[in-house]
Amino acid sequence: MADNKSLYASAQKNLLVFGSSFMPDVIVRTEGIYLYTASGKKIMDWTSGQMSCLIGHGHPEVVKTLAEHAASLDHLYSGMVSPPVIKLAEMLTGVLPAGLDKAIFLSTGGESNECAIKLAKMYTGKFEVVGLGASWHGVTSGANGAQYHAGRKGYGPAMPGMLMLPSPDSYRSIFRHKDGSYDWKTELEYGWSLIDKASVGSLAAVIMEPILSSGGIITLPAGYMAAMKEHCVRRNMLLIVDEAQTGLGRCGDLFAINYEGVIPDILTLSKTLGNGLPLSAVVTSNEVAKVTEERNFMFYTTHANDPLPASVGLKVVEVVLRDKLVARSREMGQKLQAGLRRLMERYGCIGDVRGRGLMAGVEIVSNRETKEPAIEFGRRLSARMMDLGLSASIAARTTFSGCIRIAPPLTITDEELERGLEIFEEALRSTEGSMPLY
C-alpha cells in the first residue's frame, strides 16, 4: 500500500501549484464511479474527474480500445489521416445537425476554443470576441481573453478586442419583471447596447457555454441561445458554442444545442468526448471550412487528428448511443434534482438547485433572503463530503466555492445516486452552519 503522507509530501516538494492547493488524499486507483486513495479510502466521484469521465473510469471497452491502438496505431504526422479520425468525424457530423459538417480533433478544451476563435477571426476578417461574465473557455491567450470567471489577473494585457456580456444568472440577476421573475431579454438587450458602444466595429464572434459550469452551473433561460444567434446574425458575427461539459448526453440531450434547435457556426467539444483522455473537437460548416481553407487557415499542432485519442472518442460516442445513455441521463437527472430539492427543503444553506440532466448545481448561501454566498461554509461542507466518501465539488477558486457542482458518470446506478444523496445529507447534518429547517 502506497503511503499517503510521503506521497503528498513529495507532491508539495516537486509539483507546481497551478490554480489551487492539492487535495490531501492521493488517488492511487480509479474504477467506475469510484476513486481509491493511498490511505485506503473509497470515494464516490460525482464530478467525473474534471467533469470528463462520461462513461466512468476504466470503462472496459475504452481500455480495450486503448490497448489495441497503442500497439498498432498511436500517433502520426499531423498531415496524415487514419481510420479512427475519419470515422469519428463521420460519426460526429452524422449525429450533429446540417451546418456542422467538418471536424478537426485536438487535445484540450482550451485548444479547441483557441482554434474556434481563430477560425471565426479568419472567416469574418474581424477580431472582437464577446464572452459571458461567468464563462470559462481555457487558459491560452485567445480562450482566456474571452472568459471572465477567473484567470485574467496578473499576466498583463489580454488579447485585444475582448468584450463581455452579463451572465444570464436567473438566481442573482438584478434584471426583474414586476412580479420578480427574471427578465433576461432586457438584460441581454442592455448588454448588447454596451457592446455596440464599446466595439471598434470589428465584431467577429460570440463564444458561450450552454451551461456556465465554472461560474456555478448557470443554465441558460429558454430562448436565450436563439436570441444570441439572432444578435450575431444582425451584426454579421459567428456563434461559437463550447460544449466541453454539456456534450454527449450530459444534459439529457445528445448535445445541449439540440435543446433549442440552435445551430452554431462553430461547435467545440472536449472533456466528455475523450472520457478523460486529452481529446477535443472543433466542428464547423462547409462554408466556414471552405473560406478559411482558401485563406490558408493554420492550426497545426503536434497532436492534431491523432489516431489513439480519436479511437477512444469513437468508442465513447458508440457506447453513449448504443447504451441509450442520453435517455438515462435525463431520467437519472430528474431523480438527482428531486433528491437535491429535498435537501433544500431541509437545510437553509441551500439557496438554489439548478441544472439539466446529470449536471447539477447547488448554490450555498448564508442567507436565503439576501442570497449572500457562504464561501467558508462551502469549503467546509465540501471537505466534509470528501471525508465521508463523496467528491461533489471542484472548489478550485474562491469565486466558485459558493456552488457545489455535480456531474457523475452517465453510468451511475440508482443505488449509487441514492448513496451519494445520503452522504450529501450527512455532510449537511454534521457541518456547523447548514441551518437545518426541521
pLDDT in tens, 27-76: 999 999 999 999 999 999 999 999 999 999 999 999 999 999 999 999 99
**Which member of 229, 271, 315, 384 is catalytic?**
271
**Which member of 121, 192, 405, 416 is catalytic?**
405
CB 116 within 8 A of CB 204: no
CB 99 within 8 A of CB 258: no
Per-residue pLDDT of the chain (438 residues; tens, 9 = 90+): 568 999 999 999 999 998 778 888 999 999 999 999 999 999 999 999 999 999 999 999 999 999 999 999 999 999 999 999 999 999 999 999 999 999 999 999 999 999 999 999 999 999 999 999 999 898 888 888 888 888 888 888 888 999 999 999 999 999 999 999 999 999 999 999 999 999 999 999 999 999 999 888 999 999 999 999 999 999 999 999 999 999 999 999 999 999 889 999 999 999 999 999 999 999 999 999 999 999 999 999 999 999 999 999 999 999 999 999 999 999 999 999 999 999 999 999 999 999 999 999 999 999 999 999 998 899 899 999 999 999 987 544 455 558 999 999 999 999 999 999 999 999 999 999 999 998
Distance between CA atoms of 271 and 286, rounded to whole angstroms? 25
Nearest Cα residue to 97 out of 225, 327, 233, 286 = 286
**Which member of 45, 121, 126, 136 is catalytic?**
136
- The reply to whether 230 belongs to the active site is no
- The reply to whether 209 belongs to the active site is yes
Which residues fall within 8 angstroms of residue 122, CB to CB, at 6 or more apart?
291, 292, 295, 297
Give the angle subtended at the CA of 192 by the CAs of 405 and 110, to the nearest 5°: 40
**Which member of 128, 187, 209, 306 is catalytic?**
209
Q: What's the mean per-residue pLDDT of the chain?
A: 94
HSE-CB of 360 using CA atoms within 13 angstroms: 26
Nearest Cα residue to 393 out of 431, 346, 367 = 431
- The reply to whether 13 belongs to the active site is no
**Which member of 245, 265, 356, 363 is catalytic?**
245
253: left (phi over 0), alpha (psi -120 to 50) or beta: beta
| pLDDT of amino acid 340 | 98
- The reply to whether 136 belongs to the active site is yes
CB 78 within 8 A of CB 302: yes
Q: Domains plus CATH for the chain?
A: 4-19+46-57+332-430 (3.90.1150.10), 62-322 (3.40.640.10)
| pLDDT of amino acid 59 | 97
Backbone angles phi, psi at 295, to 5 degrees: -95, 10
CB 308 within 8 A of CB 73: yes
Residue 383 class from Cβ within 10 Å (0-12 exposed, 13-18 middle, 19+ buried)? middle
- The reply to whether 45 belongs to the active site is no
Backbone angles phi, psi at 246, to 5 degrees: -90, -15
Which residues fall within 8 angstroms of residue 79, CB to CB, at 6 or more apart?
none
Residue 321 class from Cβ within 10 Å (0-12 exposed, 13-18 middle, 19+ buried)? middle
- The reply to whether 147 belongs to the active site is no
| pLDDT of amino acid 396 | 44
Extract the C-alpha cell encoding 339: 433528491
Which residue, chain included where needed, has cell 490497448? 67
H helices of 96-150, in order, are 109-124, 141-145
CB 117 within 8 A of CB 146: yes
Task: Give the 3-state secondary structure of residue 35.
Answer: strand
**Which member of 242, 265, 306, 416 is catalytic?**
242
